[in-house]
Amino acid sequence: MKKFLQYIIVLAFFTPFKLFAQFEQVQDSVVQLYGVVMTADSLRALPSVSVVIRNTTRGTMTNEQGVFSIVVLKGDQVEFTSVGFKPKLIDIPRSLQGNQFSVIQLMVTDTAYLPATIIKPRPSRAQFERDFVNTRVPDDQYEIARQNTDEAKRRILAASLPADGREATNYNLRQTANRTYYAGQLPPMNLLNPAAWSEFIKAWKRGDFKKK
């Protein structure tokens, strides 16, 4: 029992020093990486360049002036990628002195070669006119928006789409409030209500009572 207490005392004495040494080691390995990304041919700042630490999910992007800043560890590999440019990979030195590291990264334009396209004329003018007239041009975003806002289509969507949770809850609360309001008495009849007759006539004209 005495030896066990001595072991506990020695362990409690040296543990803080060990934890402090580990914290100092981790703190020394953290590096603030910052710099600017530019084109190699014209030294123009590149915005929206992805700056990602390889094999991790951490990263950032350059601002409008091509400047970036990110926290990395010594020994990490940082990859720079942008559409139209070749990716670049840099290594953070393990023997780096201090906790700051700056870079000026130059990106080289990546030329993409597309397959050759051969344009052939139609055999006759009549065939060209026929194909030109029958060619269907896909709808753009404005045409799709116009079709979605059409009154007939909105009615179909309103009739076919089920009520969401908020609408169902509000309807249930309104029904409960009406039943509570007329509790102990008969609810009023809308037989002689002009507003109710007006809504009935409008619904009849719209065809709401037709069999579907």
In a domain, 102, yes or no: yes
Question: What whole-number percentage of the chain has pLDDT above 70?
Answer: 83
57 found inside a domain: yes
- Domain residues for the domain of 88 are 2-107
Judge whether 80 lies within some domain: yes
Per-range mean pLDDT, top range of 25-29, 87-91, 122-126, 154-158: 87-91
Higher pLDDT, 211 or 119: 119
| pLDDT on residue 195 | 74
Q: Give CA–CA dist 187/175, Å, rounded.
A: 13
**3-state SS of 39-108?**
ECCCCCECCCCEEEECCCCCEEECCCCCEEEEEEECCCEEEEECCCECCEEEECCCCCCCCEEEEEEEEC
Q: What CATH code is carried by the domain that includes residue 41? A: 2.60.40.1120
* Structural domain contains residue 55: yes
**Mean per-residue pLDDT, 24-45:** 83
pLDDT in tens, 58-103: 999 999 999 999 999 999 999 999 988 999 999 999 888 888 999 9
Report yes or no on 183 lying in a domain. no
Report how many domains make up the chain.
1
Q: Does 1 score more than 60 pLDDT?
A: no
